[in-house]
Amino acid sequence: MFQFNIRGENLEVTDSIKNYVEKKVTKLERYFDTPPSSEVHVNLSVYNSEQTIEVTIPMKNLLLRAEEHNTDLYAAVDLVVDKLERQIRKHKTKVNRKARQEGAPKYVFAEMEEKQAQERLQEDDEDVNIVRTKRFDLKPMASEEAALQMDMLGHNFYVFTNAETDETNIVYKRRDGRYGLIET
């Protein structure tokens, strides 16, 4: 059973918005044999008339996360739920394929369901293919300096050693043009 944590940024989360988000996201429970007991983190925000919804659902063996932008908040909710459904179906297809290869019939879903899921996932079902590896030394610096380095290089993220904490951090450029910091 999902537990919701819904926050609004530059937007008041009304009961109707909250109920709509909960109703739509709760429909994802049908994809699980036993309803997952997980917290659903929902961030709703408005910037220059563009509505943004970010949904994160951490589960035991899977992290579901999707983000959508739209001028209509309710349309954005529908689009983000569609993305989450595709992620779940893709994950189930991979689990089934692996289980079948290992001969565990307990986890095999009906062939028809998998065939339909594969047809829907053709555009999303690309295997991860790492085509390049880079190695570099991490220079100790402040996060502000790392943001400047990132801008000078024209990248949208930059990995560095935080001079204050001596930890590996990542500074990145957000879609709204501001900066974010990931601390490991």
Torsions phi, psi for 34 (to 5 deg): -115, 130
CATH number of 140-183: 3.30.505.50
Is residue 169 scored above 70 in pLDDT?
A: yes
Look up the CATH number of domain 3-121.
Answer: 3.30.160.100
Show me where the domains of the chain are located.
Answer: 3-121, 140-183
99-118 mean pLDDT? 52
pLDDT 10s digits, 82-94 = 999 888 888 777 7
18 vs 41: CA distance, rounded Å: 12
Task: Say whether pLDDT at 103 is over 60.
Answer: no
Q: What is the pLDDT of residue 62?
A: 75
What is d(CA 167, CA 99) in angstroms, rounded to the nearest whole number?
A: 39
Contacts by 167-176 with C-beta closer than 8 Å and gap 24+?
Answer: 168/138, 169/143, 171/143, 171/146, 171/147, 175/52, 175/69, 176/47
Residue 79 has pLDDT above 90, yes or no: yes
Specify the amino acid at residue 112.
Answer: M
**Residue 130: band (very low, low, confident or very high) from pLDDT cuts 50, 70, 90:** confident
Residue 78: its pLDDT value, please? Answer: 94
pLDDT digits (tens, 9 = 90+) for 51-75: 999 999 887 777 888 999 999 999 9
